[in-house]
Structure formats: C-alpha cells, structure tokens
Structure 1
Amino acid sequence: MNFLYPSFLWALGVLAIPVIIHLFNFRRTVKVYFSNNRFLKQVKEATTAKRRLKHYLILASRLLFLFFLVITFCQPIIPAKNQLTNNHTIVLYLDNSQSMSAQMEDKVRGLDAGVTFVRNIVSLFPPDTRYKLITNDFAPFSNSFKTKSEVLDLLTQVRLSPVSRTMQEVLDRVRHQGHAQQQQEVFWISDLQKSTLGIIPKALDSSAQWRLVPIRFASLANIFVDTVYLENPFAASGEKNVLRVKVRNDGKRDVDQLNLKLTINNIQSGAGTIDVPQGGVAETTFDLATGLSGLNEARISFNDFPVSFDNEFFFALNFTDKIKVVEIKKDNIPTPVEKVYGNKQVFTYQGFAVSNFNYNELAQADLVVVNGLNTVDPSLTNALLDYINKGGTLLLAPGTQPDVNNLKNLAQVPGLNSVPKAEPLELDRPDFSNPFFENVFEEKSTSLAMPKAARLLDLGGDRSAILKFKNDQAFLSLFNRGGKLYILATALESDFTDFHQHALFVPVMYRIAASARRSETKPYYTLRENLITLRLDSVNDDVPLKLVGKEEVIPGQRKVADRVFIDVPKFSVEQGFYDVVSQGDTVDLIAFNLNKEESLMEQYTGEEVKAMAGGGENISIFTATSSGAFSNEIKERYLGTPLWKYALLLALLFILAEILLIRFMK
C-alpha cells in the first residue's frame, strides 16, 4: 500500500491530544457529603473500575477516529499494475463493424460502449499523451497522432461501418504507422468476432503493450439471408421465373414461421413463412410474375431482434445485358444455330461466312460457333486459339467431311480422330447430376426420348462428356483451355443427326451460351469484393462512370473493349442500391450487401485470443462488461485501487462507537 500524500502523516501527532486529556483530567473536585464512609467507599470502588474501562474504550475510539481520519487525507492506494509515463503514445483500435450494433448485457450498443471506453482511456493519461484512433474505415485521420481534444472530437464522427477487418489487417496498419523510438500501448476494442477476425498471429509485437478490451454481447441468435438466385438466371425479360432464397440460422434454437417479404421497386411482390433449424439453412421460393424488364431493385426483408443490421438483403434483377453470339460458317445460308439464337431479347446474333469474317469481332463475342467447316485456315486458327486463351467460349461443329489433322490444330485434343460415317445411334439420356443440366429439366424422366446422330469425330474417349451415345462414346464434350471449348461429334445436318430438331437442342445451346457470358452482372456483390465487371457498349471513354446511391461516388475504373472494370470503393459505399450512371444516363444497377461473415455472431473470449497470440506478458485483458465497470478497472490498472473511502468509513465508525459508549455505557 502506498500514499498519494504521505507528507500529511505528520498530522498523526494529533493522537497525543486524546492521551493528554485522558492523563490529565482537569475536572473540578466535587465534595460529596455522606453520613457513613463505609458505604461511600464501597460505591467508589465499584464505579471507579467501570469508569476506568469506559475511559479506555473511549480513548481507543478517539485515537482510532483520528488515526483513520489522517490516513484518509493521505489517500492510501494499492499500487497500479501499469504505470503512467510521460511522452506516451497510445494506439486505439475501435471496431466499428456492423456486428458492433448488437447490445451488451446492460442493453448498450457495442459501438456506444466502445466509444465510452475510448473516452475513459483518453481522460486517464497525462495531457501530453498522443493518441492514434484507428477504425475499420482506415480513415485519413488514423494516419497521425492526435491530442486528447482531437480524439474526443473524432469520436463524435464514428459511425457503424460496412467494412470488417481481420486482425492481421489491423496489425499491419498499426505496424505501418508505428514509431520505433517510442514504446506504444495498443488498446484493442472489439467484439472479437470469430468469423471476421481471421487468422490470429502466433505472436504479437513484443515492443508494444497490447490491451485487449473485448466487447461481450449477451447470448445472441441471428437470422440472415445466405444467398438468393434465379432458377433460370438467363431468362429473357418478361418471362416467368422463380426466385430461390436461402436463409441461415446462426442461433442455438429453431426459428418457426419466420415471415419473409419480397419487395421489387418498392412494391411488395410476395410474402411467405419459413422454418429455419438451429445452426442450419432453409430454402424458400418466390414466383416472379411476367412483365418484369429493365433494371429492378429487389430486397428480402424480415424482423429479427436484437441483431437487426442484416434484416434486409438487396439484389438487382436486371434484364438488359444480352449474350453476344458470333457464328462462322461456310456460307450465308441460315443454320440451326442462327435459329436457336434468334431470340433478340436474350441474344445478339451475328453470322459470317468464313470468307468474309473480320477477326475483330472475336473481342466482342461471348460465344463463337464454328459451324460446318471441314478445315480452318491457320490465321483463323491462331485468332480462335487466342480468343479461347483469353477466356472466350468456342463451340466447334464439324463439316460433313472434316479434316481431322487440320481441326487438331484448333481443338488441341490429342485423341481426336475421324470416324467413317455409320448408321445413326441414339444418344443416352443426360446425366442429371451434371452441373451443366442444373435447372434445365423440370422432370427428370428416365424415359426421355433422345435424338440420334451419326458420329464423324472420335473425341478421345471423354468419360465426362456432357452428352454421350448409348455405346458410351462422347457426342458433346467440354475442354477447358483458359476459356471453354465445346466440340460436337457430328455435323448439324439433317443427313447426320436430328439433334438440332429435337427438344433437347434449345436448352443445351442456351446453356452453352449461358456459360459463355464472361461479364455477367451478378445479382448482388458484397463489400468484401474488390472488382466489378460490367458490359457497356456505348460508354464514352473520356467520361468516368458514377455510382449513385445514398451518395455519389466516382470509383477507380478502366475500360477494355466493351467491358468496364470497376474497383469497389468499399470505404465510400454502403449496403443498398447504386445506379451506374454515364453522362446522366443510368446504364446498370448494382446491389451491395454486407459480408456474410459479419452476420455470424460467435465471439472469442479475451483469454482465447491471448492464448492463440502466444500468451506473452505484453498482452493483458480487460474483463469489464459495462462502461462503468471499465472505468473502474482502467483506473485500478493505471492509478491503483484507492482506499481512502474505507479509511473514512472506519473513522466514522469509531466516532460512532465513541458516541455510543458515552451514551449507553454507565
């Protein structure tokens, strides 16, 4: 135990006063006349013994009263574990991710508690201490040290951020901005969320003192939308479709009859209920009516308390981007390919005779179909190989008399060989477990009538072919060459196959085209992603695109042909919808959602993080679960435990004892 004001101990000299009063009782002698001295002597003996005991007790009470009163003014303390030093630099990391909107046991928001913790810290240290405040936004103010008043002013600007940070990202930020000449103390104020904290380093910088301040929430369960997707993602505008929604339960109890609401363009378009098992995922569907076209803002919403930051899920239903198909054929006669891709609401089709083909068209195409050619000249072969290597998709349907040696240069399939024309064979039914056929067939019938074909090419015994003959030979194969290469084993001519006249032809060709779409705008993006790819035909290269939502943002971007690559400005955008605007015209719609990991509320304890970080002596943990408890704990750590209140209480107790002795002890 130490004293803040030990010089006041000289006042203990006042303890002599009660002793002096006790030894020299200056009361006047009072004569008492009594007829019989014998009786007087007996009374005197009895009362003197009692009076002596009473005086001693009163003297002890007075001495102890004065002693503890003096000790009170000396302000005794139990020494602090951590000492305050001058010219100290303090780094304050305040987690302001969306999960910090949850409530602690005292019903205070985690972020509000964290702000209060920071206020307590800066009010404790000496005036010349400098602070660096770091939040998940990595805002410019975190690049330099601030005074106490500047930090308090910055705290009024802290808001929940859509950005979550791993522990390593924050450590890199602290290390990058550190001052090697000064020993730093780092206060880490966070909910220590398992899903976003990432990989914890096995050891923290030993030159710094790490103070973990966990924000502990009450036992929480959370419901959130895991994903949404269209049953037919390439349906044309106006066509009927089905929206599938997966909902996840992060809690330890089942959720029954959760009400979900679908809103499209601020008009409720559907509602339903769903049961979600504890720790599991449930799926439900919404029918999308016909007539939906253009750019559409859609959201799934529900009520889930107390964690409500993820009660809405945003996604865009855009029906503007068409798949560009280029067919290279032997002449200008219409082909089955032209007919199947003639739906102008879904496809932009161009057909060229091989003798009149401009190679520049390849850069604009999602899918290139080489149809009916027996040979491909070397220059076109090189252009097509370059197209595939850059991620393009090519469908090769041979002519009626294919030159295999020539086609090998393009296909680059070592086992490719020619087969003499034979009688047409029936195709085997599709493998419904193949992802290629996902959502293609409503009924997976084993009695499906299949087309027939006369095989002209041996595709090398492809065991994973998309379609096969009944003798297990490949009819349609897929080869990955950077992009995708589809090869048919026969010509699309009536003398060789009826595949192009069969009901299976359209869904297969649509699926090939769907897989070729290289720059499809996704229904939604998370704020954890870094890049968005858009296909925009008529964009002025000199005028940048804007993202217009709650605020207007000009993101980093670059244009290559008809594609625009946009860097996600994750520090400037929030969850919700943003119009892509070019020269005042809205050309696309993007929906942003929080990172799904942010919705997983399970937390590490401070002890767990310390153990995983090496458990060094330079790591300490604050255990306070409320703002008031944290204030007391940090004062105890840096100022010590004050005992003057207890000394004052004892002083009052002994003066009360003196009063009681005088009043009641006869």
Structure 2
Amino acid sequence: MLLLLAGFATATSFLIIIHFFGLRLRQKLEFSHIQFLAALNAQTRSVRKVNNILLLVLRILFIVSALAAFLLYFFQKEENQLSSSTIMNVVVDDTWSMQGELAGEQVSKESQAKRDAKKLLINQTQSSSSPAQPLLLEEQPGRGSFKSVVNLIQGSVIEGQRGNTFFFSDFQKSEFSESVLDEISKSKSVVLVPYPSEGPNIYIDSVWLDQPVITPQSNIKLWIRVAASLQNENSQVTVQVKEGDALLGTTQVLLETGQKRIVDFDLSVAEESKKLVLDVNDPLNDYDNKFYIILPKPSTVPLKITPSLPESHPVLQAYKQEPAFKFTKGTTDTSALWVMEGGMNNDRAEEAIQWLQEGKSLLVLPNTGGQQNLADFLSKIGLKGIRATAAEEQSKELRAPDMSDHFFRNIFEKEVRNFKMPAASPVLTWNSSYHTILRFKDNSPFLSTFKVGNGEVHIFSAQLSKGSSFSSHPLFVPVLYQLTLNSINTDKLAYQPVNDRIEINLPNVKQSQEPYKLEGNDGTFIPQQMISQNILQLELPEQVREPGFFKVLRAGQVVDVIALNIPRSQSKVEYFSAEELRDQMAKRNSEVKVMERNARVPLQKQLQNNQSTTSLWKYCLILCLLCLAVEAVVLSAKKRGSLI
C-alpha cells in the first residue's frame, strides 16, 4: 500500500515537471520584422495557457482514476476472498411449530429448513477452505425447546464469531416477544430466514373435568376446549377420545373464525386410572393433533373431624355438599386432613404431633373465647409464634387474593377482578409463616400455612361461625376445598411446559438427597428440580420433549404418572413475515439481515448479492478512457492552431 502511494506521488510530480518545464531544448532566433505578429502572439499565448491547464487537469485525473481503479479492484477482491473463506454458523429452529406445513409446499417447515441449510453449508464448503459450523442439523433424541434455540441465537454462537449466522425459523409471534427481538437485534452478522406457516392449525386448548374428585361408581363429564390459529374460515372439526386402540367417543363441532368451542364426553369410571388420548382432525398441521391426559382413579377424600365441631358449622356443611368428601369423628389411618376447632388437651397435642410427623395436615378453626387455649395448644405442637389478641379486634376487610399464587392457580377458570371482599374479626395473630394465603388490607394474616414436622398446619385467624362474613362469601367454598385437595395427592389431567418447566403438586413432599426421575420414551432421565410450597418444579431435559406418558420416580418407587404435552404456545402459528421482521429490525436500528426463502435463488447467492458493493473500479477505468479521449481532442486542436 505504501509503495502504491509512493508511486502515485512520483508519477504526479513527474507529470507536473514535464508539463511546466518540458524536456525539449528551446533556441531563440532574432527576427526584426515581427511587429505585425504582436497582437496574434498575445492571443495565442492566452489560449495556450488555458490548454495547458486543461491538459494538466486531465493528466492528473487520469493518474488518480487509474490508481483508484487498481486500489478498488484490489480491496473488492480481498473482501470477496474473506467473505468466501469465513466461518458460517447455521441454526435451525427445531421446536414443535416447525413440524407444521410450509406455506406453498407439501413439506414441513423444519424438513425444508434443514435441506436449505445443508445446501448452504455444501456451497460454503465448496467455495471455502474454512469449515462451516452446522447447529441443530442432526436429528435430536427429542424435540428442541424454544428456549434452547433462542439461547443459541443470543449466546456465544453469534457474539464474537466471524462470518454470518443463519437462523431458520417460522418466527412465531407467541414466542418472539419484544424482549427476544431486542436481544436478537443486538447481534451482528445475523441473517434471519423466515418459513411461513400453511395455516390454520387446529388444536386442543384445555381439558378439565366437571368435578375435582372422581368418586367410585359414578360417571364424569370430560370437557374439551378446541381452538384454531391462523384461521380465516369456519372449519368442521372432529374430536375423538381413545384409550389405547379403543374409541371411547367421537363428536363434531363447527369451529367459527376467531372463536373457541367446547365439547364434552360422558365417561365411565374404572377402578384404576386411565391413559386417554384426545385427537382432533387437522391433516394440514398434524404435529399437535394428539393431546394426552390421565383420568385419575376413583377415590374419596377421608377427613378426620373433631367431635367438638358442631353439625351446623359452615365448614362441616360445605364438606357435606360435596360427595367426594367423607369424614368421621373417629380415627382413620387413611385421612390426610384433620379439621379441629379450638384448643385440645395434652393427649390431643401428642396425637397431633404424631399426625404431623406422618406427613398429614391440620386445619385449625378458632372458636369463641378459646383463643388463648388454642394459642397454647399450637405452641405445644411446635408453633411458637401464634398469639391471642388482647381483645376481640374490630372487623377488618380482607385483601383480594393474589391470583399469581400457586394456591389460586387452579381455583378459577378465569381470573376474577374487582372482588368485593368480606370482613372478619381476628382472634389470633402471627408475624411470619411458611405461606400466607389470604391477608387483611392492613397486611396482617387471615389464612396461613405452617410447616411442622413432615406435615402442614392451616390456620384461620378469625372465627368461621355460621353467618360470618367470610363463610357466606363465594370465596369460602373454593378456598376450603383447595386447602383440602392440597392435603392429598390429586392427579392433574395433563401438563404443558412453560419455559421448559412443569410443576407437580406433591403434598408432603420432602427434601432429600435422592432426586426425582422421569421414566418414559424408552429412557429414564434426571431433570433439574426444585421444591417449593409442596410444588415439585422440574426443568425438562432435551430427551423428554416428546409428548406422552411419563412416570415420576424416587428411590425406584413410582410417585406419580403424568401426561406431558407440547406447550400451548407452539400451537399458535401466527408468524412474523419477512417484511415485518425487517420493520422490527429497522425500528431497533439493527444490522440483522432478513432474507426470504427463494427456491430459485440460493441463500448464499442472495447474501452475496446483498453484501456486494458496486464495482467502482470499472467506473474509474471508464473515467481514464474519457481523460485520454479529451486530451487527444485538446492536443489535436492545439496542433491545428500552431500551423496558422
């Protein structure tokens, strides 16, 4: 480069010297009769001066253009060589939505994306000595998660890598939130290749039973909500319920545009749990046609009731309204919840301690005038922070429940807002607890759960006598039933991962060195896990992305059997088009490129056309030729003028 610049400076200097001083020797001749040529000589001198200046400009411009043409050609050639030899990263989204059909093609989006990616890598390998780096191209033992794919895009695969990273995906709007787009837009040398969906996609949105507990020798009703994504016209949908190869029921429903429809099936109850498969007919996008559920085995919820609890007590009356609850005033080993009112003597305290050590639960209801006795009893069984109020406090209004709490997650089908909350007069108080379910508006507790031994103690701070504000409120029965159901192992019909995580309700779950395992899909896996509020949180590994039935094991024993389905978000196939992605990246001032898949033009060719700059060196050569042509004209005119 320095030699080129030095050559350019030398050539320019030499041209200027020749132009002004010339290389010819001039000889002066005396001639006495030249007065008549004085005027012509002055005119010729001015023309010659202009011609000389023009020639100087043309010659300097010629040298500059020639040098620029050479340098631009050299730089462009070097850039093309670097582009052809750079490392290429390829990321193929292999989440469940990519199993849907590609718009305009009779092939899945993932299959076509992998074909395009392999062609891209083959072309890169043939034109470069540097290896390309395929990611997620080989078949995985289970379907990838959206979280893992986005981590590849946001992580070290892109940052600090030379070359381009191609990301093949359908770019679902349900998954590519504003925050995800923000993160992707920060990356450099990224090329997004969208694969549009061939919609609509019909899927099962949710499933539930008409009763929380299945009682023996009864019939139940299974409710199924059917929905569609990217739907532009009404569809006739067939829904089937199967147990193995046996068809238990089938029905048809007209699914209108933008609407959801609910269908129901009457099912008989067997002695054991049933593994059922729900199926909707959707030949276009069949990757989520099946929905797996486990119908729990029939059972009743045995409750232990203290003899001091009167028959007219609202808690007892609420239990009697539900046939799934069976209670006795005696002792039963199968009971998981003991409902007691007021305090007990020392013998009852020892019995309560033993009860809790067995991993069972107590539901404590304060009675009139016995708050101090009750506080003493609770202290004996291990609760030291419970205090009786000095005097009966005035009635206080309760705060609306926190719907994000695990306790309320399955109580209401829809989130209820603007609750008109009841009031109550607390007779007990405490500062802290394992889990406070309901509070007063002054943040003092109304209903809390305490961990004692291996069991739990649920305590109301106010009386729930007949006619009280809370016992007559619509919230009373659901809260009471949920407390009871949390004390037993109630099976959930199905699980759908959220952020690759599921939560299993396992009452009296214990921290242990022995981890929980998942068995299914011809393998046993140990997922990452955490226990909180009797909730076992499992982060699913890649090997269990396939839907189906799985056993939850601990120390070789089957703790639960669950039905695992693909995330609901993967069934919503509304996507970002290429133009929308460009707008999103432009809005973020991002360098990320967006390319539309074109079967006739390879992606690598599109990228080269997109990246290649105009060949300016050609224009510089054209300018050199023009300079030569103009100089020839000037010299020709100068020569003709000299003959006059």
TM-score range with shorter-chain normalisation?
A: 0.5 to 0.7
Aligned to 1:451: none
Tell me the SS of whatever aligns to 1:165.
helix
Partner deviation per Cα, 1:247-304 (whole Å, 9 max, x = no partner): 1122434445421111235532222111211111111111122x33433212210211
Q: Percent identity?
A: 14
Work out whether 1:272 is the aligned partner of 2:245.
no
One-letter amino acid matched to 2:219? K
Aligned to 1:526: 496
Partner deviation per Cα, 1:455-479 (whole Å, 9 max, x = no partner): xx8679xxxxxxxxxxxxxxxxx94
2:83·2:163 contact (CA, 8 Å) conserved in 1? no
| Inter-CA distance 579–84: structure 2 relative to 1 (3 Å threshold) | same
**1:314 CA displacement:** 1.1
Aligned to 2:482: 514
Partner deviation per Cα, 1:469-509 (whole Å, 9 max, x = no partner): xxxxxxxxx945579765775657xxx99xx9xxx99x976
**1:227 CA displacement:** 0.3
2:496·2:565 contact (CA, 8 Å) conserved in 1? yes
Q: Distance in 1 between matches of 2:169 and 2:112?
A: 10
**1:116 CA displacement:** 1.6
Aligned to 2:336: 348
TM-score, structure 2 normalization: 0.59
Pick from 525, 529, 551: which aligns with 1:554? 525
Work out whether 1:194 is the aligned partner of 2:144.
no
Work out whether 1:161 is the aligned partner of 2:161.
no
Residues 167-182 of structure 1 correspond to what in structure 2 (within 5 A)?
169-173=151-155, 175=156, 177=157, 180=160, 182=161
Pick from 532, 549, 570: which aligns with 1:577? 549
One-letter amino acid matched to 1:89? I
Tell me the SS of whatever aligns to 1:195.
coil
Partner deviation per Cα, 1:574-609 (whole Å, 9 max, x = no partner): 211112245655442101111111111111122322
One-letter amino acid matched to 1:527? P
Where do 5+ consecutive residues of structure 1 fail to align?
1-77, 136-154, 390-402, 418-433, 440-456, 461-477, 642-666
**1:323 CA displacement:** 5.5
TM-score, structure 1 normalization: 0.57
1:329·1:370 contact (CA, 8 Å) conserved in 2? no
Q: Distance in 1 between matches of 2:222 and 2:91?
A: 41
**1:120 CA displacement:** 2.1
1:92·1:133 contact (CA, 8 Å) conserved in 2? yes
Q: Distance in 1 between matches of 2:128 and 2:581?
A: 32
Where do 5+ consecutive residues of structure 2 fail to align?
1-75, 398-407, 414-423, 428-444, 451-457, 615-644
Q: Distance in 1 between matches of 2:279 and 2:252?
A: 12
Residues 325-364 of structure 1 correspond to what in structure 2 (within 5 A)?
337=316, 340=320, 341-342=325-326, 348-350=336-338, 353-355=344-346, 356-357=348-349, 358-359=352-353, 361-362=355-356, 364=359
**1:113 CA displacement:** 1.4
Aligned to 2:596: 623
2:551·2:562 contact (CA, 8 Å) conserved in 1? yes
Pick from 584, 592, 600: which aligns with 1:612? 584
Work out whether 1:129 is the aligned partner of 2:126.
no
**1:617 CA displacement:** 6.8
Q: Distance in 2 between matches of 1:436 and 1:191?
A: 32
Aligned to 1:309: 287
Q: Distance in 2 between matches of 1:299 and 1:638?
A: 51
Residues 184-223 of structure 1 correspond to what in structure 2 (within 5 A)?
184-199=163-178, 200-202=180-182, 208-218=188-198, 220-223=199-202
| Inter-CA distance 354–206: structure 2 relative to 1 (3 Å threshold) | same
| Inter-CA distance 189–639: structure 2 relative to 1 (3 Å threshold) | same
Q: Distance in 1 between matches of 2:567 and 2:513?
A: 33
One-letter amino acid matched to 1:98? W
Q: Distance in 1 between matches of 2:384 and 2:276?
A: 36
Q: Distance in 2 between matches of 1:246 and 1:578?
A: 24
Q: Distance in 2 between matches of 1:613 and 1:546?
A: 42
Aligned to 1:92: 90
Q: Distance in 2 between matches of 1:250 and 1:387?
A: 55
**1:114 CA displacement:** 1.0
| Inter-CA distance 345–252: structure 2 relative to 1 (3 Å threshold) | farther
2:185·2:590 contact (CA, 8 Å) conserved in 1? no
Aligned to 1:109: 108
Q: Distance in 1 between matches of 2:216 and 2:460?
A: 27
Out of 293-302 and 355-364, give the one that drifted further: 355-364
Q: Distance in 1 between matches of 2:204 and 2:119?
A: 38
Work out whether 1:378 is the aligned partner of 2:375.
yes
Residues 387-398 of structure 1 correspond to what in structure 2 (within 5 A)?
none
Q: Distance in 2 between matches of 1:194 and 1:576?
A: 26
Q: Distance in 1 between matches of 2:595 and 2:339?
A: 71
Tell me the SS of whatever aligns to 2:275.
strand
1:203·1:613 contact (CA, 8 Å) conserved in 2? no
Q: Distance in 1 between matches of 2:131 and 2:409?
A: 59
Q: Distance in 2 between matches of 1:106 and 1:347?
A: 59
Tell me the SS of whatever aligns to 2:105.
coil
| Inter-CA distance 121–515: structure 2 relative to 1 (3 Å threshold) | same
Partner deviation per Cα, 1:298-332 (whole Å, 9 max, x = no partner): 22102112111111111122237875756567699
1:168·1:201 contact (CA, 8 Å) conserved in 2? no
